[in-house]
Amino acid sequence: MSGCASGDFIHRQPITPEMTAGAFLENYPELESDLLELAPDLKEVRKTDLFTTIAGTVNLQQLADNLGKPVLEIVSDLRSRASEVTGVAFDNDSRPPDWFQPELVKSTLDAQALLANGGHPLSAVLEGLPRLAAGEIFELITPFLPEPLVERLRQEGYPAWSHCDDAGLFHNYFLNRRD
Protein backbone atom coordinates (compact mmCIF):
# COMPACT_ATOMS: atom_id res chain seq x y z
CA MET A 1 0.00 0.00 0.00
CA SER A 2 1.19 3.51 -0.71
CA GLY A 3 2.10 5.60 2.32
CA CYS A 4 0.60 8.71 0.75
CA ALA A 5 -2.85 9.85 1.68
CA SER A 6 -4.73 13.05 2.27
CA GLY A 7 -8.12 13.78 3.66
CA ASP A 8 -9.95 15.18 6.63
CA PHE A 9 -7.78 16.02 9.59
CA ILE A 10 -8.89 14.81 13.02
CA HIS A 11 -6.37 15.19 15.81
CA ARG A 12 -5.48 11.70 16.92
CA GLN A 13 -2.32 10.34 18.45
CA PRO A 14 0.13 9.50 15.64
CA ILE A 15 0.70 5.80 15.00
CA THR A 16 4.28 5.03 16.05
CA PRO A 17 6.15 1.88 17.10
CA GLU A 18 5.86 3.04 20.73
CA MET A 19 2.04 3.33 20.60
CA THR A 20 0.32 0.67 22.71
CA ALA A 21 -2.44 -1.48 21.26
CA GLY A 22 -4.82 0.14 23.76
CA ALA A 23 -3.88 3.67 22.66
CA PHE A 24 -4.34 2.61 19.05
CA LEU A 25 -7.84 1.33 19.80
CA GLU A 26 -8.72 4.50 21.75
CA ASN A 27 -7.61 6.70 18.85
CA TYR A 28 -8.81 4.46 16.01
CA PRO A 29 -11.74 2.41 17.36
CA GLU A 30 -13.04 1.91 13.83
CA LEU A 31 -9.89 -0.11 13.08
CA GLU A 32 -10.25 -2.67 15.87
CA SER A 33 -10.87 -5.51 13.42
CA ASP A 34 -7.81 -4.42 11.39
CA LEU A 35 -5.55 -4.54 14.45
CA LEU A 36 -6.95 -7.90 15.53
CA GLU A 37 -6.42 -9.22 12.00
CA LEU A 38 -2.74 -8.26 12.24
CA ALA A 39 -2.41 -9.66 15.78
CA PRO A 40 -4.21 -12.99 16.15
CA ASP A 41 -2.94 -13.37 19.73
CA LEU A 42 -4.86 -10.25 20.73
CA LYS A 43 -7.95 -11.55 19.01
CA GLU A 44 -7.86 -14.69 21.15
CA VAL A 45 -8.06 -12.68 24.40
CA ARG A 46 -10.29 -9.86 23.09
CA LYS A 47 -13.35 -10.81 25.13
CA THR A 48 -11.43 -11.32 28.40
CA ASP A 49 -10.22 -9.05 31.20
CA LEU A 50 -6.67 -9.91 30.19
CA PHE A 51 -7.12 -7.95 26.95
CA THR A 52 -7.22 -4.59 28.76
CA THR A 53 -3.95 -5.34 30.54
CA ILE A 54 -2.22 -6.61 27.43
CA ALA A 55 -3.50 -3.80 25.20
CA GLY A 56 -2.35 -1.21 27.74
CA THR A 57 1.20 -2.51 27.91
CA VAL A 58 2.07 -4.07 24.53
CA ASN A 59 3.22 -1.55 21.96
CA LEU A 60 3.33 -1.94 18.18
CA GLN A 61 7.09 -2.66 18.25
CA GLN A 62 6.51 -5.57 20.63
CA LEU A 63 3.56 -6.73 18.56
CA ALA A 64 5.69 -6.73 15.40
CA ASP A 65 8.49 -8.59 17.19
CA ASN A 66 5.99 -11.20 18.39
CA LEU A 67 4.66 -11.62 14.85
CA GLY A 68 8.16 -11.79 13.36
CA LYS A 69 7.37 -8.86 11.07
CA PRO A 70 9.23 -5.57 10.60
CA VAL A 71 7.67 -2.88 12.77
CA LEU A 72 7.62 -0.50 9.80
CA GLU A 73 5.40 -2.92 7.93
CA ILE A 74 2.90 -2.96 10.81
CA VAL A 75 3.03 0.81 11.40
CA SER A 76 2.80 1.64 7.69
CA ASP A 77 -0.09 -0.76 7.23
CA LEU A 78 -2.02 0.68 10.17
CA ARG A 79 -1.28 4.26 9.06
CA SER A 80 -2.44 3.47 5.57
CA ARG A 81 -5.62 1.88 6.88
CA ALA A 82 -6.21 4.89 9.09
CA SER A 83 -5.36 7.27 6.23
CA GLU A 84 -3.29 8.88 8.92
CA VAL A 85 -2.38 12.46 8.30
CA THR A 86 -3.03 14.00 11.71
CA GLY A 87 -1.07 16.70 13.45
CA VAL A 88 0.72 17.82 10.30
CA ALA A 89 -1.35 18.88 7.35
CA PHE A 90 -0.35 16.89 4.31
CA ASP A 91 -1.73 17.29 0.86
CA ASN A 92 0.19 15.52 -1.89
CA ASP A 93 -1.15 17.97 -4.46
CA SER A 94 0.16 21.01 -2.61
CA ARG A 95 2.74 23.20 -4.21
CA PRO A 96 6.09 23.68 -2.52
CA PRO A 97 6.44 26.68 -0.22
CA ASP A 98 8.22 29.77 -1.52
CA TRP A 99 11.39 28.88 0.40
CA PHE A 100 11.77 25.50 -1.33
CA GLN A 101 14.30 25.40 -4.15
CA PRO A 102 15.76 21.98 -5.11
CA GLU A 103 19.24 23.43 -5.50
CA LEU A 104 19.16 24.50 -1.83
CA VAL A 105 18.90 20.88 -0.63
CA LYS A 106 22.42 20.44 0.75
CA SER A 107 21.97 17.36 2.92
CA THR A 108 19.83 14.24 2.43
CA LEU A 109 19.18 11.35 4.79
CA ASP A 110 17.38 8.32 3.40
CA ALA A 111 16.08 6.89 6.68
CA GLN A 112 14.38 3.78 5.28
CA ALA A 113 17.04 1.32 6.48
CA LEU A 114 17.45 3.10 9.81
CA LEU A 115 13.71 2.90 10.47
CA ALA A 116 13.48 -0.71 9.27
CA ASN A 117 16.10 -1.62 11.88
CA GLY A 118 14.17 0.06 14.71
CA GLY A 119 16.19 3.29 14.67
CA HIS A 120 14.87 6.83 14.60
CA PRO A 121 16.23 9.65 12.42
CA LEU A 122 15.50 12.50 14.85
CA SER A 123 19.02 12.74 16.29
CA ALA A 124 20.60 12.68 12.81
CA VAL A 125 18.28 15.45 11.64
CA LEU A 126 18.86 17.51 14.80
CA GLU A 127 22.63 17.16 14.29
CA GLY A 128 22.65 17.77 10.53
CA LEU A 129 20.18 20.62 10.17
CA PRO A 130 22.06 23.23 12.25
CA ARG A 131 25.26 22.45 10.32
CA LEU A 132 23.69 23.87 7.19
CA ALA A 133 24.04 27.53 6.32
CA ALA A 134 21.00 29.74 6.75
CA GLY A 135 18.67 29.23 3.79
CA GLU A 136 19.88 25.70 3.04
CA ILE A 137 17.56 22.69 3.18
CA PHE A 138 17.81 19.26 4.82
CA GLU A 139 15.90 16.42 3.13
CA LEU A 140 14.68 13.37 5.07
CA ILE A 141 13.31 10.42 3.06
CA THR A 142 10.91 8.09 4.89
CA PRO A 143 8.36 5.40 3.99
CA PHE A 144 5.67 7.29 5.94
CA LEU A 145 4.95 10.82 7.05
CA PRO A 146 7.01 11.25 10.26
CA GLU A 147 4.48 13.53 11.92
CA PRO A 148 5.99 13.78 15.42
CA LEU A 149 9.43 14.57 13.98
CA VAL A 150 8.07 17.18 11.54
CA GLU A 151 6.01 18.81 14.27
CA ARG A 152 8.95 18.92 16.70
CA LEU A 153 11.20 20.60 14.13
CA ARG A 154 8.48 23.11 13.31
CA GLN A 155 8.18 23.92 17.01
CA GLU A 156 11.93 24.48 17.09
CA GLY A 157 11.58 27.04 14.32
CA TYR A 158 12.41 25.03 11.21
CA PRO A 159 9.87 25.44 8.40
CA ALA A 160 8.91 22.06 6.94
CA TRP A 161 7.28 20.71 3.82
CA SER A 162 6.55 17.08 2.96
CA HIS A 163 5.89 15.63 -0.46
CA CYS A 164 5.08 12.04 -1.40
CA ASP A 165 6.63 10.69 -4.59
CA ASP A 166 5.15 8.17 -7.02
CA ALA A 167 6.86 5.30 -5.16
CA GLY A 168 5.07 6.21 -1.92
CA LEU A 169 8.14 7.67 -0.22
CA PHE A 170 7.91 10.88 1.75
CA HIS A 171 10.46 13.59 1.06
CA ASN A 172 10.46 15.83 4.13
CA TYR A 173 12.25 19.13 3.71
CA PHE A 174 13.44 21.36 6.55
CA LEU A 175 14.73 24.89 6.06
CA ASN A 176 17.56 26.13 8.24
CA ARG A 177 16.68 29.74 9.01
CA ARG A 178 19.28 29.98 11.75
CA ASP A 179 22.76 31.40 11.36
pLDDT tens, 63-76?
Answer: 889 889 888 788 87
Q: Specify the pLDDT at position 51.
A: 85
Query: pLDDT band at 4, cuts 50/70/90?
Result: low
85, pLDDT greater than 60: no
Q: Comparing C-alpha atoms, which of 97, 79, 116, 76 is closest to residue 174?
A: 97
Query: pLDDT band at 94, cuts 50/70/90?
Result: low
- Mean per-residue pLDDT, 128-145: 93
Q: What percent of the chain has pLDDT over 70?
A: 85
- Mean per-residue pLDDT, 128-148: 92
pLDDT tens, 151-178?
Answer: 889 888 899 888 888 888 889 999 998 7
HSE-up of residue 110 (Cα within 13 Å, Cβ side): 3
Q: Specify the pLDDT at position 179.
A: 62
Q: Specify the pLDDT at position 168.
A: 81
- Mean per-residue pLDDT, 40-53: 83
Q: Specify the pLDDT at position 12.
A: 65
* β-strand partners of 137: 105, 175
Domain ranges of the chain: 21-82, 102-175
Q: Specify the pLDDT at position 132.
A: 96
- Average pLDDT over the chain, rounded to an integer: 81
SS3 105: strand
Q: What is the pTM of this model?
A: 0.58
Q: Does domain 102-175 correspond to CATH entry 3.40.50.1860? A: no
150 or 10: whose pLDDT is higher?
Answer: 150
Q: Specify the pLDDT at position 175.
A: 95
